[in-house]
Every structure is written in structure tokens, then in C-alpha cells.
């Protein structure tokens, strides 16, 4: 991971083999971030995306193991039980130009990823049992 401070936040360059969600979460913890916006692009493999089933109150997950363009990584940083939590969504495209998207559970960098974090004020999440997710308070 390479990091450069920029106005209002950071430019993070993830390198081949780094796991996106873990790397960003670890960075947020190290920097004591309590709120932020995340935007990025790059190349990934071993991607797990999710779609939240509101009736079952659980994610339907699908794994994608080929190499993909990370067309869009968007999300936010908030606090969950006092710890930084990265809530991320991703859109990926493969060699046949098919596009897949959803909640990002994991992805490994295959080439690089260029990600901006814009620091924001403190945001907290708490469990919402009616919906089955940890929502921003």
C-alpha cells in the first residue's frame, strides 16, 4: 500500500495481492478515521459480491474468480461498535464486458487500485433488527 495525503484526505494505491476491504479497514483503524467517503478504480480478482435479501435479512453472495476491471468502488467509513467500518459497493467487468455489482465482501488486487478517501466527521452505525443490518444512526 502506498499512501499520499491530499486535500481533505488520502490517495491510496493498493498493490497486487492486497485484499481491498481488509486493507482499507486496517488503514482507517491506523488513522483513527471516524467518517469518510471512498471512491476508487483498479483491477481485481477473487471477488465476493453480495445482494441483501430483505425478506431473509441476509446477503446472497456470489464469488467471481477471474480477473476483472474494478469499474467503480464506492462506499463510506463509519464507526461500528467503536471501530472503523468500511461499507463498500463495487462494479466489476470481465473480458466479455459483462458487468456485475453489489456489496463488496472481498477482492484481491490483480494489478493495482487507486482509491481516494475523503475524511468526514464522525458517523456511527448501530444494529437495526427490523431490517437486519447495521445502519447509520
Read off the CATH number of the domain in which 31 is found: 3.30.1330.80
Number of domains into which the chain is organized = 1
Give Cα separations from 13 to 47, 72, 76, 85 (angstroms).
18, 15, 17, 19
Question: Which pLDDT value is given to residue 98?
Answer: 96
Span 39-77, pLDDT tens digits: 999 999 999 999 999 999 999 999 999 999 999 999 999
Domain range enclosing 39: 2-136
Confidence of residue 125 (pLDDT cuts 50, 70, 90): very high
Give the Cα separation of 61 and 67 in Å (integer): 18
Looking at residue 110, its pLDDT comes to 98
Amino acid at each position: 500500500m502506498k499512501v499520499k495525503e491530499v486535500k481533505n484526505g488520502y490517495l491510496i494505491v493498493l498493490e497486487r495481492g492486497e485484499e481491498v476491504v481488509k486493507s482499507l479497514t486496517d488503514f482507517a483503524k491506523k488513522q483513527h478515521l471516524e467518517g469518510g467517503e471512498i471512491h476508487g478504480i483498479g483491477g481485481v480478482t477473487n471477488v465476493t459480491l453480495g445482494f441483501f435479501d430483505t425478506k431473509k435479512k441476509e446477503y446472497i453472495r456470489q464469488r467471481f474468480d477471474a480477473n476483472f476491471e474494478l469499474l467503480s468502488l464506492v462506499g463510506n467509513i463509519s464507526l461500528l461498535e467503536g471501530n472503523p467500518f468500511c461499507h463498500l459497493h463495487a462494479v466489476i467487468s470481465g473480458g466479455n464486458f459483462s458487468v456485475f455489482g453489489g456489496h463488496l465482501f472481498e477482492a484481491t488486487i490483480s494489478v493495482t487500485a487507486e482509491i481516494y478517501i475523503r475524511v468526514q466527521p464522525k458517523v456511527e452505525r448501530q444494529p437495526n433488527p427490523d431490517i437486519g443490518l447495521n445502519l447509520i444512526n
